[in-house]
A and B are shown apart, each in its own frame.
Chain A
Amino acid sequence: MGCYPSKQVKTPGYEEPTVLAAETPFTVSEVEALYELFKKLSSSIIDDGLIHKEEFQLALFKNRNKRNLFADRIFDLFDVKRNGVIEFGEFVRSLGIFHPNAPVEDKIAFAFRLYDLRHTGFIEREELKEMVLALLHESDLILSDDVIEQIVDKTFSDADTKGDGKIDQEEWKAFVLKHPSLIKNMTLPYLKDITIVFPSFVLSSEVEDSE
């Protein structure tokens, strides 16, 4: 192995894999593999070791200019420091929530924050409607205003069990436990195979072989 990889210059925001592995469901070698993925994503447009929103959009949609409400929300939640970029530590800690072994409570809480568009601590009816409209727009689906109102009303009356016009975290948790498919997208099976998809030793081995 040698010590070549540890001598490489790490980018700002880089954190040691042992630290990140201790705080997340990932092993050290999985964090190292995630660093390979991170390097790829963070250098796709601006090679500065940070994931910018356009790079995130490019990875998700193969289009750097495609705006999407939900991708924006994910980006904002990953960008814990709120400085407009995703650093490596933020990337790993946030993806940890999507690990198949991460606690369900963490996934439920993350989804709540995702849908609490205006950071009020509640999912409000207007927010739910805004998200439904965004999804319909994204999918080129057309529904009449009446039907949209009915969908939102029905869902809201099912989830807002206290009937106060907003969904709190407790109501959200009960609603998700009743409808587990709502957080299906909070689990990425890929994360269990990340060391196979992005083996972290390939590049440095190649460099050593060529020397």
Chain B
Amino acid sequence: TAPVTMNAFELISTSQGLNLSSLFEK
């Protein structure tokens, strides 16, 4: 996919800082 077709919000939603599933790791 060419970068210009990327959705910027889609890109930032991949941040590790937004992935709260790591809070549940034992």
- Listed in ascending order, the chain A residues whose CB lies under 8 Å from chain B are 37, 41, 59-62, 68-74, 95, 98, 114-115, 128, 131-132, 134-135, 138-139, 143, 147, 150-152, 154-156, 158-159, 175, 179, 181-185, 188, 190, 194, 197
A70's partner among B7, B17, B23 (CB-CB below 8 A) is B17
In the complex where A179-B10, A190-B21 touch, is A151 in contact with B16 (Cβ < 8 A)? no
- Alpha-carbon distance A70/B23, docked complex (angstroms): 15
Interface residues of chain B: helix, strand, loop or mixed (majority): helix
- What is the interface size of chain B, counting residues whose CB is below 8 A from a CB of the partner? 23
Q: Are B20 and A152 in contact (CB under 8 A)?
A: no
Subset of 12 A-B contacts with CB under 8 Å: A60-B17, A68-B16, A70-B17, A71-B17, A71-B18, A98-B20, A128-B9, A134-B12, A138-B15, A150-B4, A151-B4, A154-B5
